[in-house]
Amino acid sequence: MMEIGMALLVFVLLLGGTGLGVLLRPLLPEEHRKHETVQLVQLVLGMLVTFAALVLSLLTASAKSSYDTATNDLRAYSADLIQLDARLRDYGPNAQSARAALRRYTAAAIASTWPQERAPEGDYPRVADAHDGQLESVPLGAMLNTVGREIDRFTPRDRYETTLAARLDEVFGRVRDTRWRLIEEAHGTISKPFFAMLTLWLILIFLSFGLIAPHNALAMVMIALGAVSISSAVYVVVDLDTPFTGQIVLPSDSMRDALVHMNQPLEPRAPLPALPSPQ
């Protein structure tokens, strides 16, 4: 809802600036309405419009880049979860408890991060105090740490399980690091003072429109359409900057694919072939 609120605020401020310009126009002395003065205002206005458009385009590119980075990190996170589950499968029945904890964590993370979507099926705790739109949650973190503690309790019986335990520690470390990176990327990166300054520039531009635009219906409609266009661009920028909230959110497909992989039954480990006896 923050994205819609900011877009509506910008829209109202731009129309308010235009209305202020319309109210001030009759108060201007006659010499301020001469052709030379209007030409100078149009020249300065063109410079402001170009500068504001450049800044807005840079903000859009920056927000899109942040969104793409979060998308790639979420896919990497899902792949690491699949790798962790695969290594636990290889470890055998002794890792069944860790696999079950990993499955519960993944299902709970999907349900709390994408509350507007269908919740995964199965038995897992519903995290009531998770922050909507973020992976950060004390219960979710505790569930993931349970998987790490289960891995630490493994007692390898042979060289094969010793190698698997070392790989499990490595993959779990990647999972934990990527999770915290996603948590940080869920927060907006747009500077509020910078955004307020851009809004001020836009208000000045629309105030100038009200001062120099002819007072007819077509001119007012075009100004209103311009305000709608800029407000929608602001909405897209703010929505892209918060990838887990709003209408433009990261898809949950990769996490659901990881959960489908985890739901597959455990296959028995095939016995290692016997080495030929020395002649």
* Domain definitions of the chain by residue range: 2-25+35-262
In one-letter notation, the amino acid at residue 263 is N
Q: Tokens in use for 263?
A: 């739901």
SS3 of 279, please? coil
> Which DSSP category does 155 fall into?
-
Residues 6 or more apart whose CB falls under 8 angstroms from that of 262 comprise 81, 82, 85, 99, 102, 103, 106
pTM: 0.80
Asked if 245 contacts 68 with a C-beta cutoff of 8 angstroms, the reply is no
Q: In what helix (H) or strand (E) does residue 234 lie, and over which residues does it extend? A: helix 217-241
Residues 6 or more apart whose CB falls under 8 angstroms from that of 156 comprise 162, 164, 165
- Which of 69-83, 182-196, 242-256 has the least mean pLDDT? 182-196
% of the chain beyond a pLDDT of 90: 38
Quick one: pLDDT at residue 275?
45
Tell me: the pLDDT tens digits for 101-148? 999 999 999 988 888 888 888 778 777 544 444 456 788 888 899 999
- pLDDT at 269 exceeding the cut of 60: no
What one-character-per-residue DSSP string does 98-125 give?
A: HHHHHHHHHHHHHHHH-TTSPPPPSS--
SS3 of 61, please? helix
E strands of the chain, at which residues? none
- The span from the CA of 120 to the CA of 111, in Å, is 7
Residue at token pair 């499968």: 89
Tell me: the pLDDT tens digits for 147-178? 999 999 998 888 988 999 999 999 999 999 99
- The span from the CA of 95 to the CA of 279, in Å, is 39
Q: How far is CA 127 from the centre of its chain?
A: 20
- pLDDT at 228 exceeding the cut of 70: yes
